[in-house]
Each structure stands twice: as C-alpha cells, then as structure tokens.
Amino acid sequence: MNTLVIDNKSYVVVPVESYEALQKKAALKTRPEKLLTIDEARAHSKKAIRKWAGGK
C-alpha cells in the first residue's frame, strides 16, 4: 500500500486483490431491499400495469 500526494490531496494505492476484497466486504454490509408482502406486490404490479396501459 502506497500513499500518493497530488494537489495537496492524499491518495492510497492498493493492490487489485485488496480492493476487490474491500468491495466484497462493503457489499455484504449493505441492507437488502425491502421485500413486499403478496398483497403489497399485487397492488404495486396493478399500479404499474395501469400506469403503463394509460400511457398507450
């Protein structure tokens, strides 16, 4: 790991393997999207279909 200074800003240079490991670790910490119940999903899909059909 090396430190670079360009225009008074510090940058860290890391190997690709370390960078990919950091990305994978960060991705695991993200919260999954909210799952809808069956009724919520039906209402959402009906709303989307009505919006799509009304546009034609």
- pLDDT given for residue 34 in this prediction: 82
Q: Percent of the chain beyond pLDDT 90? A: 62
| Model pTM score | 0.42
Helical segments of the chain, H only: 16-29, 38-55
C-beta of residue 4 within 8 angstroms of C-beta of residue 13: yes
**Can you tell me the distance from the alpha carbon of 12 to that of 21, in angstroms, rounded to the nearest whole number?**
15
- Residue 22 pLDDT exceeds 80: yes
CB 16 within 8 A of CB 24: no
Radius of gyration for the chain, computed over Cα atoms and rounded to the nearest angstrom: 23
